[in-house]
Structure 1
Amino acid sequence: MSEHLFSPLHTDPTSGLTYRTQARPPARASRLLVLLHGVGGHEQQLAGLLPLLPPDWLLVLARGPLQLGPQQFAWFEVQFGSDGPRINAAQAEHSRQQLVSLLASLQCQFGVVPEHCTVAGFSQGGIMSASVALTSPGSLGRFAVLCGRILPEIAPILAEKSSLALLDGYLCHGEHDDKLPVSWAERATAWLTELGVPHTLQRYPAAHQLTAAMAQDFASWLTRH
């Protein structure tokens, strides 16, 4: 996607996170969508979703606070071993707190109520989306985990079930994902069901990627509400 479609990087003074919006944001946004990239990606990783959104939606592309290399960022460090992914839990928690703060700042700045806010992300970005939603459901109305998982580390800080029941979640996952096997999506949907979180899970014949079909179905879920 062309650079001119998005603004230069902004730094949110409250959270310290940087982000981009459309170069020409709507004068009055009806909905706010915050997209989070995966580990080793950058904020424009999901920029291709912009044409799928209604023109009165405000899109925010947030950048992870950890720099791994040139144009490579993350929300927390992770290592993959035979026993599955192992994360830096302190970094994940700090990023979660930063995102909650960023949401409050954006909602105040653009006049969007939390119920009209969606946070979604690919892989590690999806992980962070779920972490924010399940621990701070008053910050948003909906969340989406695109080829990600839900961190078991957030269990001690989950919100009350009465608050979680007001959320709406969306999960999609490739059946041939070799980074985060589809079993993570199955665990996620089982946990969400146990918590009473309304949600949808869709599987695709894909690897660890966001295919055109996934993107279109995600956009359809976003805009049908």
Structure 2
Amino acid sequence: MTPIDASSPLDIIFVPAQTGKPIGTIVVLHGWGANHDDLGELVPYFKLPEYQFLFPNGTFDHEYSETGKMWYSFTGAGQLNDRSLAQLVTSREVLTTWIESLPTSTGIPLDRTWIAGFSQGGTMTLEIGLDLPVAGLIVLSGYLHQNRAKPPQSAPSVLLVHGRQDDVVPLAAAQKSREILTQWGVNVQYQEFDMGHSIAPEVLDTVRSFVTK
């Protein structure tokens, strides 16, 4: 994995397509306290050799980890205070601007670009992706912010995946997200697995099917 785009405000790791010229781009956002290396090891298991992967680091240093990053901070029980909301706005703006610039830097249009994320990264995927003309959104163990504005009618399709035994992000949060998105008219594919706050091998099969179908 090699870093790219030194001019970006984000620290990014790039994994090129294994087959030469890519047919699509997959942006993957890590969770709270992890970093852009965390999910990079999963690339071979996605079994999407014709796609290039981009892993940006979180906008802010994590409060309790020397190597961890975050998109915004939490207070007790995952609640957002004024500082958290300000960080969320910053991360949303930085990520949106960067993703909108990807067709120029990668040669792949946004309608062949997927945004994926795990945990807080999944939440950020919905935060930014519903307003972008991307190919699809992949939310792994994430959820929709309750104060999230209704997206435009052309919002991309969403894959929501969650573990029934998730003790970090409650299953009910994913179910509520599915309910709201469906009410908004978003095309949602929802699937639960017998797992905790993790990514089981069968989840990657579901992701691959969502991207390639």
TM-score by length of 1: 0.85
Number of aligned residue pairs: 207
CA drift of 1:12 comes to 5.0
Aligned to 2:116: 120
Asked whether the 8 Å contact 1:173–1:182 carries over to 2, the reply is: yes
Are 2:151 and 1:163 equivalent residues in the alignment?
Answer: no
Q: 1:49 to 1:25 in 2, by over 3 A?
A: same
Q: Secondary structure at the match of 2:39?
A: helix
2:30 to 24, 33, 37: 37
Q: 1:106 to 1:29 in 2, by over 3 A?
A: same
CA drift of 1:25 comes to 6.7
Unaligned runs of 5+ in 1: 1-5
Listed one character per residue, the Cα deviations across residues 29-61 of structure 1 (whole Å, up to 9, x for unaligned) are 210100000000010211133112432211001
Counting strand residues as a fraction of each chain, which structure ranks higher? 1
Question: Superposition pairs for residues 134-153 of structure 1, below 5 Å?
Answer: 134=130, 136-138=131-133, 140-153=134-147
Percent of aligned positions that are identical: 24
Query: Take 2:110 and 2:127, find their aligned partners in 1: how far apart are those partners?
Result: 16
Q: 1:153 to 1:89 in 2, by over 3 A?
A: farther
Query: Take 2:19 and 2:87, find their aligned partners in 1: how far apart are those partners?
Result: 33
Are 2:47 and 1:56 equivalent residues in the alignment?
Answer: no
Asked whether the 8 Å contact 1:12–1:102 carries over to 2, the reply is: no
Query: Take 1:98 and 1:190, find their aligned partners in 2: how far apart are those partners?
Result: 28
Query: Take 1:56 and 1:25, find their aligned partners in 2: how far apart are those partners?
Result: 6
Q: 1:159 to 1:217 in 2, by over 3 A?
A: closer
Q: Secondary structure at the match of 1:179?
A: coil
RMSD: 1.7
Asked whether the 8 Å contact 2:125–2:137 carries over to 1, the reply is: yes
Unaligned runs of 5+ in 2: none
Q: Secondary structure at the match of 1:163?
A: coil
Aligned to 1:3: none
1:80 to 72, 76, 82: 76
Counting helix residues as a fraction of each chain, which structure ranks higher? 1
Query: Take 1:25 and 1:71, find their aligned partners in 2: how far apart are those partners?
Result: 29
Are 2:60 and 1:66 equivalent residues in the alignment?
Answer: yes
2:197 to 204, 208, 225: 208
TM-score by length of 2: 0.90
Aligned to 2:211: 222
2:15 to 12, 17, 22: 22
Asked whether the 8 Å contact 1:26–1:58 carries over to 2, the reply is: no
Query: Take 1:206 and 1:141, find their aligned partners in 2: how far apart are those partners?
Result: 27
Aligned to 2:166: 177
Asked whether the 8 Å contact 1:89–1:153 carries over to 2, the reply is: no
CA drift of 1:112 comes to 0.9
Query: Take 2:56 and 2:179, find their aligned partners in 1: how far apart are those partners?
Result: 29
Query: Take 1:12 and 1:94, find their aligned partners in 2: how far apart are those partners?
Result: 19
